[in-house]
Structure 1
Amino acid sequence: MTVEVEIWTDINCPFCYLGKARFEEALEGFPHRDGVRVVHKSFELDPTLPHGHSDAVVPHIAEKYGISEAQAAANERGIGAQAEAMGLEYRTEGRDFGSSFDMHRLLHWALELGKQETLLDALYAANFAEDAPLFGDTERLVQVAVNAGFDEASVRAVLADSTAYADAVRADEAEAARLGARGVPFFVLDRKYGVSGAQPAEVFAQALEQAWSDHAPELEVIGGADACGPDGCALPARD
């Protein structure tokens, strides 16, 4: 018996980074975790960003939400505090953002290799924990993938072909729209239950339990025959 969990995410999204860790915490404590299959799906926060785009996060947040840069920086520190409480590294200053389309293409390629989690974790670490900017630099992206154990020539081949896995990325994004996902992270369990946002681990645990319970067969019990139980065995009737 298997429960499939699909997770729509974007590398730009700090709550996807936190949400992945919280889901994994719930999964670690789930008694049937070996029966859970996780697949990560593509979702670009801003699909209009051009290839090679890179800009500073804090001014972008300030402009997008109509707040001051001081407020935007405070928001970043707040997310950093949440990450720290979970044991995650989070760099609150100097991060960049940009087009994640090539990263999503690589993640589809890594899925075929059975190493999607490895690459996703490497990309999250590169964006949120490491000092060097991640976006807008193909060589940086290649370095991240190679450091995670991927073959350099193969990584470069995928990145050099702009059509490679592009349809898979667009299909994921169209699917998210059909499912009503307006933001990420967005978790879908067996196409029956949806969990939106970086919820506490307890919420994910409840969703896993519910999805697993739905797979368990319901038995129709036919009673009336002699049987043994905690109070003993039924005695045969005497004439």
Structure 2
Amino acid sequence: MRVEIWSDIACPWCYIGKARFEKALAGFAHRDQVEVVHRSFELDPGRAKGDTVQVLDMLARKYGRTPEEARFMEANVAANAHAEGLGYRTEGRDHGSTFDIHRLLHLAAARGRQDELLGLAYRANFAEERSVFDPQVLVELAVAAGLDAGEARAVLADPDAYAEEVRADEREASELGANAVPFFVFDRRYGISGGQPAEVFAQALEQTWKDRPPAFVGDAGAAACDTDGSCEVPRPGGTV
């Protein structure tokens, strides 16, 4: 079974949703047969690289709220994060372009370290006093995730590196009708939008597993008849 997750580092519900999904996956009997693939989605694709603002200021402007209302919104999200055992800072966080982070996550995927880097990036962005919009911080996170520092720097220095992979993920999200994240797709059969409770993800895992096509049983090389009517004749001992 494959679960694809479209998300953005700037999205707090992606951070919380990841934890809730992982809680459901940990309790799933067939968890070792589930492949999790993280896909790219930018919440602010038009923001220029290096154009960073404080999250509270961004929220106030984006939603037409007062600073106090923006703080209340963040406090509500923080309460949900804390309920999942996640750290969450409501003040002093940056908001900026996440395109470079997504490109680096594709490098991590190619090296089998995507989930590790994603988890570290979420923690740095939401729980720690570190800006994921600083290239040096991104390199440090990449190294902590098991990537080579030189390779990570090379990707960040080349704006074309993994750019098409990011754009392809975003086009696919649009084709699937996803206009918000997190967005979870189970075996291309079922979709779940938002950081739902762990119980919802658990139900989706069970239902998707139940609805899988029947697995092939037997020896694919056993004697059989072709569409033209010719048949192989088994020899003694089971060989053809």
Q: Same fold (TM over 0.5)?
A: yes
Instruction: Give matches, 1:148-163, under 5 Å.
Output: 148-163=145-160
Instruction: Give matches, 1:31-180, under 5 Å.
Output: 31-135=29-133, 137-180=134-177
Could you report, residue by residue, the CA deviation over 1:184-206 in whole angstroms, capped at 9, with x for unpaired residues? Answer: 00000111100000000000001
Which sections of structure 1, spanning at least 5 residues, go unmatched? Answer: 219-239
- Which residue does the alignment assign to 2:200? 203
Question: SS in structure 2 opposite 1:11?
Answer: coil
Given that residues 113 and 145 in structure 2 are in contact (C-alpha distance below 8 angstroms), is that contact kept between their aligned partners in structure 1? no
- 1:67 counterpart letter in structure 2: R
Matches of 1:216 and 1:63, distance apart in 2: 48
- 1:22 is aligned, of 20, 33, 58, to 20
Matches of 1:53 and 1:141, distance apart in 2: 16
Matches of 1:163 and 1:92, distance apart in 2: 34
- 1:155 counterpart letter in structure 2: A
- 1:140 counterpart letter in structure 2: V
- Which residue does the alignment assign to 1:227? none
- Aligned-residue offset at 1:74: 1.1
Matches of 1:83 and 1:105, distance apart in 2: 26
8-17 vs 74-83, which moves further? 74-83
Given that residues 111 and 147 in structure 2 are in contact (C-alpha distance below 8 angstroms), is that contact kept between their aligned partners in structure 1? no
Task: State the superposition RMSD in angstroms.
Answer: 1.2
- Aligned-residue offset at 1:133: 2.4
Given that residues 113 and 147 in structure 2 are in contact (C-alpha distance below 8 angstroms), is that contact kept between their aligned partners in structure 1? no
Question: SS in structure 2 opposite 1:215?
Answer: coil
> What's the TM-score, normalizing by structure 1?
0.88
Matches of 2:202 and 2:80, distance apart in 1: 19
- 1:15 counterpart letter in structure 2: W
Report the identity percentage: 59
Question: SS in structure 1 opposite 2:154?
Answer: helix
> What's the TM-score, normalizing by structure 2?
0.87
Q: How many residues align?
A: 215
Matches of 1:216 and 1:29, distance apart in 2: 23
Which sections of structure 2, spanning at least 5 residues, go unmatched? Answer: 216-240
Matches of 1:96 and 1:74, distance apart in 2: 17
- Aligned-residue offset at 1:215: 1.4
- 2:2 counterpart letter in structure 1: E
Matches of 2:149 and 2:26, distance apart in 1: 32
- Aligned-residue offset at 1:216: 5.7
- 1:12 is aligned, of 5, 10, 13, to 10
Matches of 1:108 and 1:97, distance apart in 2: 21
Given that residues 113 and 146 in structure 2 are in contact (C-alpha distance below 8 angstroms), is that contact kept between their aligned partners in structure 1? no
Matches of 1:133 and 1:106, distance apart in 2: 15
Could you report, residue by residue, the CA deviation over 1:90-121 in whole angstroms, capped at 9, with x for unpaired residues? Answer: 11111111000011001111111111000000
